[in-house]
């Protein structure tokens, strides 16, 4: 059980590392580019690009969990493992696939990790929105 808990913590740490690297890269890129014109389509395009980037980060994290499940024999194939991991990470939890008894602790750790990473993504998105609309708010006050 302790070994599996350590695997879960290692995958949580990898997820945080992937997310930190991705958010840092996005912040650097956003700082280098000029402020978008306040037009609806320019801002909307920025949100679409940021949302796609964040989803890509989450998919990389989900793939890492799925790879561990296959590597350690907790799931039979990568497609099933990815599906299970996606459903678990997003806390959808259909229950049509389950981990073997000795690996179920990892499912809970993955779900908690997914909640944390989704919260981080939401905070990142909110920070971008606040940055875009902060100058307008300052002008009106």
**Total domain count for the chain?**
1
Report pTM.
0.87
Per-residue pLDDT for 110 more than 60?
Answer: yes
Pick left, alpha or beta for residue 103 (phi over 0 → left; psi -120 to 50 → alpha; otherwise beta): alpha
What does the pLDDT average to over 76-90? 96
- Structural domain range at position 132: 2-140
Give the C-alpha distances (Å, rounded to integers) separating 73 from 17, 66, 86, 96, 99: 25, 11, 18, 18, 10
Give the pLDDT confidence score for residue 131 in this predicted structure: 80
Average pLDDT over residues 59-78: 97
pLDDT at 36: 55
37 phi and psi angles, rounded to 5 deg: -60, 150
Residue 35 has pLDDT above 70, yes or no: no
Backbone angles phi, psi at 131, to 5 degrees: -65, -40
Rounded mean pLDDT of 104-125? 95
For residue 26, give the CATH number of its domain.
1.10.287.70
């Amino acid at each position: 059980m302790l070994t599996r808990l350590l695997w879960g913590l290692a995958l949580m740490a990898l997820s945080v590392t992937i997310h930190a690297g991705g958010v840092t890269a996005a912040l650097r890129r956003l700082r280098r580019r000029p402020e978008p014109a306040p037009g609806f389509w320019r801002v909307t395009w920025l949100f679409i690009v940021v949302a796609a980037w964040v989803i890509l980060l989450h998919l990389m994290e989900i793939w890492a969990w799925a790879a561990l499940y296959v590597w350690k024999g907790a799931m039979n194939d990568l497609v099933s493992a990815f599906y299970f991991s996606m459903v678990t990470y997003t806390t959808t939890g259909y229950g049509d696939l389950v981990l073997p008894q000795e690996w179920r602790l990892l499912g809970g750790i993955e779900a908690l990790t997914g909640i944390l990473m989704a919260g981080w993504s939401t905070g990142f998105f909110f920070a971008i929105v606040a940055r875009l609309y902060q100058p307008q708010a300052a002008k009106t006050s």
